[in-house]
Structures are given as structure tokens and as C-alpha cells.
């Protein structure tokens, strides 16, 4: 690979790493598995870098699929020592930790494809066409998956407690951090 292509790839990874990690985490629900998924996707992306028209969309597709693959690995079915440890919030006067835990639990209860559609559309702010491209389906399917995912979240969280609209949800950034 040429030096300028390598530099462009590094800049891309630097600028996109945060959103790719969040997509992977929200897809699989585990930060360690999300890190592995992003790393695996970027390793596969590197040789194809020069040929891509939309590397951002391609990377999101690869990360989504890698995160799903991470949850299918047999070692993930075992309980880790961290599962027995309670999640304790350190100094959270606003009660946001409880809300983050509620949101995390609700997202985990949404079926994987619907969860991915909601994340792509409303958390990452992708268009319907881009969401359909990442999910490898038609636009109508992506739209219905996102709609059903939002409906499931509303049911689980209660519509009066959290705003679930068609707008990108900036407050989700704090909910999964």
C-alpha cells in the first residue's frame, strides 16, 4: 500500500473509531467483544481500502457483522467473573447511571436486527438507504425494522420516561459511555 493510502487509512480509523466501537458495543453488548469486532473488521478493511467508494458505510457494515459474529463464538456463552460483579455507579447525582442501565437492558431485549436498525438510524443518524446497505436489506425492511425496534423500546422503557423519535438521539451517547 502506498504511503498516502496508509496515512488516509490511519486518519479514517482515528476519526471513525469512536462510532465504530459504539456500534459494535450496542450490537453485542460487551465492550471486550466490541473491541475484538472492530479490530477484526479493520484488519479485513485494510487490504480493500483503495477500492472503496464509501469506506465509512463499508466499515459500519463490517463492524455490525463482526459484532454479530462475536456473540456467536462459543467462549461468549460462558459466564465471566465480571458477570458476578455488580455494576456500581460512582458519584452520579443526576441518576444517569440508572438510566444508562435501564437503556442498556432495554436495548439488549430488542431483537438483534431491530436493535441494529435503531442504532444505525437513530443513534448514528444514518439515512434509510445507508441503514439498508449496512443491514443488507431493502429500504422498506430497514424502515420496518427500525420502527419495530423503536416500538419495542417504547414498550420496555415507557414512552413517558424517554424520548424515542425519528431524530438522531444525542443523549444516547451518554447512555452507553
What are the residues whose beta carbons fall under 8 Å from the beta carbon of 75, sequence distance 6 or more? none
CATH domain 3-74 topology: Rna Polymerase Sigma Factor; Chain: A (1.10.1740)
Question: How is the chain split into domains, by residue range?
Answer: 3-74, 95-176
| 53 has a pLDDT exceeding 50 | yes
Q: Which of 39-48, 133-142, 158-167 has the lowest mean pLDDT?
A: 158-167
> Which residue, among 147, 148, 128, 150, has the nearest Cα to 139 in the 3D structure?
128
pLDDT for the residue numbered 151: 92
Residue 9's nearest CA partner among 46, 43, 37, 39 is 46
Residue keyed to cell 460512582: 90
| 23 Ramachandran zone, left/alpha/beta (phi>0; psi -120 to 50) | alpha
**Closest-CA residue to 80 (of 6, 155, 30):** 30
Percent of the chain with pLDDT strictly greater than 70: 74
CATH number of 95-176: 1.10.10.10
Is the predicted pLDDT of residue 177 greater than 50, yes or no? no
What is the rounded average pLDDT of the residues 88-109?
70
The yes-or-no answer to whether 3-74 and 95-176 have a common fold is no
Read off the pLDDT band of 16 (50, 70, 90).
very high
pLDDT value of residue 158:
81
pLDDT for 148 beyond 90 = yes
Amino acid at each position: 500500500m502506498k504511503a498516502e493510502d496508509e496515512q488516509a487509512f490511519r486518519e479514517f480509523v482515528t476519526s471513525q473509531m469512536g462510532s465504530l466501537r459504539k456500534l459494535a458495543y450496542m450490537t453485542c453488548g460487551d465492550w471486550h467483544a466490541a473491541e475484538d469486532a472492530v479490530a477484526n473488521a479493520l484488519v479485513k478493511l485494510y487490504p480493500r481500502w483503495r477500492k472503496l467508494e464509501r469506506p465509512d458505510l463499508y466499515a459500519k457494515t463490517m463492524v455490525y457483522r463482526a459484532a454479530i459474529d462475536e456473540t456467536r463464538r462459543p467462549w461468549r456463552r460462558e459466564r465471566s467473573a465480571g458477570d458476578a460483579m455488580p455494576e456500581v455507579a460512582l458519584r452520579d447525582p443526576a441518576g444517569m447511571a440508572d438510566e444508562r442501565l435501564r437503556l442498556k437492558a432495554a436495548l439488549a431485549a430488542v431483537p438483534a436486527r431491530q436493535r441494529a436498525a435503531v442504532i444505525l438510524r437513530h443513534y448514528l443518524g444514518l439515512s434509510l438507504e445507508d441503514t439498508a446497505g449496512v443491514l443488507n436489506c431493502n429500504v422498506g425492511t430497514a424502515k420496518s425494522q427500525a420502527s419495530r425496534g423503536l416500538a419495542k423500546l417504547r414498550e420496555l422503557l415507557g414512552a413517558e420516561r424517554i424520548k424515542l423519535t425519528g431524530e438522531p438521539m444525542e443523549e444516547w451517547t451518554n447512555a452507553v459511555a
